[in-house]
Structure 1
Amino acid sequence: MMRRLFNRFFVVTSLFLSSFGLATAQEHTLDGQETHQEQKEKFNVGEMIMHHIRDDRGWEFAHGVTLPLPVILYTADRGLEVFSSSHLNHGEVYNNYKSEHGHLYRVNEAGEPLKDVKVYDFSITKNVASLMLSAILLILIFRSVASGYAKNKGKAPKGLQSFLEPIVMFVRDEIAKPNLGPQYEKYLPYLLTLFFFILINNLLGLLPGGANLTGNIAVTLVLAVITFFVVNLNGNKHYWAHLVKPTGVPVALLPIMIPVEIVGVFMKPFSLMVRLFANITAGHIIILSLISLIFIANNLGGSATGWGISLIVAPFTIFMNLIELLVAFLQAFIFTLLTSMYIGSAIEDHHEADHGIGYEGPEAH
């Protein structure tokens, strides 16, 4: 039975791909151009997916339900200007401003951008609003937990405190202590902030209408850059000496290994940035692609076909959402774990521990 469902699923997918290729090949011909253009306007998979995973000036919770966000601009001749993003919907021009591909321009009467006018954009976009929301939630949650510890001092934790305490203990005992050693308390607040910030934004992104904040490479870049500075500003003499004279490397190989070690300093935050961005974005794209099959089948074979495909797609979508729920925790854990490892390698007194060379613990010394 399951095999038969898989076969039907792939048949429909193949039909869609072949139909899409045929429509693309005939798009520039005169015969049938209007028909194919009309079908393309009915449902565009790529446009739908990009609309949901990219940043926007309004926060769309459902089709037709959009929360306008403030547009904040500064120009030398006009100064500070604030207005609603609803004035810029559908490429409209408002107060001589127009939004094209996410960028705002001052335009002339003919609608052409004025290149000599520099527009500084400080607008609150969907990702910025989601960032503020997650920050407020984190502050409220942990203020509640802190007050719980103050009231229940010496007693068993209750409510939200009892739910979050095992997670905090896990980060401390399984991430910070093993990788940072005796200095773990200094970096534990940063690791906890990093873990819960990534986790709560991953979870918010799974909600209907949620923003794809941790799937935005600018956000993951900032997180990686902060980790880069924390690592390198706290690196001791052994860490910096290791870059120019790696332990156990013959002198003849130093011209090769030194550039490799220096590149590695920048590749570590780069890997953090790309890993989080790619995993979160890929999950959203897969789920949206599965949902798109329903509308594609509806366009190809009518509403009956769309309903039939939905019976197959729905279980897959639910399964992928459960996987994404696991990924939300896993990516927060991996980012925090690797960050603690990078910090630990920078503050470690005996760098031989990184390579397992001549390090048997403090009692051996």
Structure 2
Amino acid sequence: MLQAFRRVFVTLLIFLLVAPIVNAEQAGEDESGSPIDVMGKVVDHHSLALPGADLPLPRILLVDGEWSFYWSTHAAVESGDFVEENHALVPAGGGEVALDMSITSHLMYVWFGVLLTLLLTIAMARRYKRGEGRETEPKGWFQNLFEIIFVFVQDEIAKQNISDDKYKKFVPYLFAVFVSITFMNLFGLLPWGATATADITVTAILAFITFVITQWNGSKDHWEHVFWFPGVPPLMRIILTPIEIIGLFTKPFALAVRLFANMLSGKVMIICILGLIFIFADIFGTVAGVGVSLFSVPLTAVLYILKAFVGVLQAYIFTLLSAVFIGMAAEEHGAHEEGIEAHA
């Protein structure tokens, strides 16, 4: 066990030292000759970066009511139907792209995170059906880790924030959200990887799913307190009702922005610190760039560890707040009050 731990630690240490250097090479001069293109490294792309190569992704476009499918941006331009302007496809014959459903790098990493979560969950479910972990003790470190995470989500997140008679139905969703967001956050640590949650579109969709589940499971008391406010004077309802309606949408908005801002800032910080190498080399020469690298590369390695922690933490916060919002909406206040009176 100790030997296996040492191997994992050494592998992680090597990765933390080598990955920043690879990132530094990738953060070099862009096409315009600038020493570093920060936003170019964090925005979405129509190609999937792989070790040593870029894999073009399909372009699916709706123009004048007709769908056009191409295997890559280059294929779309070669067809003569589109021209590329400012990294965007524009119809060659005029007009506008009504809808762009192209596959992008961020979408690919969302699929990777969801698919990996699904595969791991199915694999563990098959083990439990065979009795491993149910009739016997969990076998292997991976099943033990899986069970720890599942029990943590169930007991410390769902059960603590949703009523005892309802929390179990939301555990699968909360567990899937926690694990998939964790994967999406950690994929950005790969030298060629992308952080899908650093895209506001991705976090907005995740928050929207929580919003739909929350409102769909809202109790009668929840909707009464949004539109009617029992026991409140009619004039006060005129003021409070719009505030409550706005509050329904500010909660998922806060979920989306919090996750997006934290993951984007971490990615930008790493790129900027690595970019100091190229900025100093461009201004003061190669010797200055090498000298700055002695500071920026070790600091980036430390930031990698911090970002890994933040990635798990932000997944936990998103899951926790989702459970809080669902619990508040699903709570039956009348039943809660009757329980208090019976206890008294």
| TM-score (normalised: structure 2) | 0.81
Q: Which has the higher contact order (CA 8 A, sep 6+)?
A: 2
The equivalent residue for 2:91 is: 106
Distance apart, 1:81 and its partner CA: 2.9
Q: Which residue of 2 aligns with 1:185?
A: 168
Conservation of the 8 A alpha-carbon contact between 2:207 and 2:256: yes
Gap change, CA 1:106 and 1:320, over 3 Å in 2: same
Does residue 1:230 correspond to 2:219, yes or no? no
Q: C-alpha offsets along residues 171-222 of structure 1, whole Å, 9 cap, x if unaligned? A: 0000000111221111111111111111111111221111221111111111
Residues 148 and 158 in structure 1, CA contact (< 8 A), matched pair in contact too:
no
CA distance in 1, matches of 2:155, 2:224: 30
Distance 1:363 1:118, change over 3 A: same
Query: Are 1:325 and 2:308 an aligned pair?
Result: yes
Match of 2:73 among 85, 89, 108: 85
Aligned pair partner of 2:114 in 135, 143, 146: 135
Separation in 2 of the partners of 1:316 and 1:225? 36
1: distance between equivalents of 2:341 and 2:90? 62
Q: Which amino acid aligns with 2:33?
A: K
Instruction: Quote the Cα distance in structure 1 between the aligned partners of 2:157 and 2:65.
Output: 53
Whether 1:66 aligns to 2:48 is: no
- What is the Cα-based RMSD across aligned positions, in Å? 2.8
Q: Which residue of 2 aligns with 1:29?
A: none
SS of 2:135 mapped into structure 1: coil
Q: Hey, what does 2:25 align to over in structure 1?
A: none
Query: Once the two structures are superposed, what CA deviation does each residue of 1:278-322 show, in whole Å capped at 9, x if it has no partner?
Result: 111011011111001011011111111111111111222122111
Which residue matches 2:124? 145
Larger deviation: 119-128 or 282-291? 119-128
Q: 1 CA distance for matches of 2:30 and 2:72?
A: 33
Distance 1:103 1:262 in 2: 38
Contact 1:104-1:119 at 8 Å conserved across structures: no
Separation in 1, partners of 2:329, 2:340: 17
Letter in 1 for 2:135: G
Change (3 A) 1:49 1:39: closer
Corresponding residue number in structure 2 for 1:283: 266
Secondary structure at 2:197 match in 1: coil
Q: State the TM-score, normalized to the length of structure 1.
A: 0.77
2:148 corresponds, among 149, 166, 176, to 166
The corresponding residue for 1:12 is: none
C-alpha distance in structure 2 between counterparts of 1:39 and 1:124, whole Å: 23
For 1:97, the equivalent position in structure 2 comes to 82
Aligned residue for 1:3?
Answer: none
Query: Which segment is superposed worse, 97-106 or 146-155?
Result: 97-106
Q: Is 1:336 the counterpart of 2:336 in the alignment?
A: no
Cα offsets for 1:24-67 (capped at 9, x unmatched):
xxxxxxxxxxxxxx99943343xx211111111112346x7311
Q: If you compute each CA radius of gyration, which structure gives the higher value, 1 or 2?
A: 1
Query: For residue 137 of structure 2, what is the aligned residue in structure 1?
Result: 156
8 Å contact kept, 1:196–1:332? yes
2:137 is paired with a residue whose SS is coil
Q: Percent identity?
A: 35
Q: Distance in 2 between matches of 1:72 and 1:245?
A: 46
Following superposition, the deviation at residue 246 of structure 1 comes to 4.6
SS of residue paired to 1:72: strand
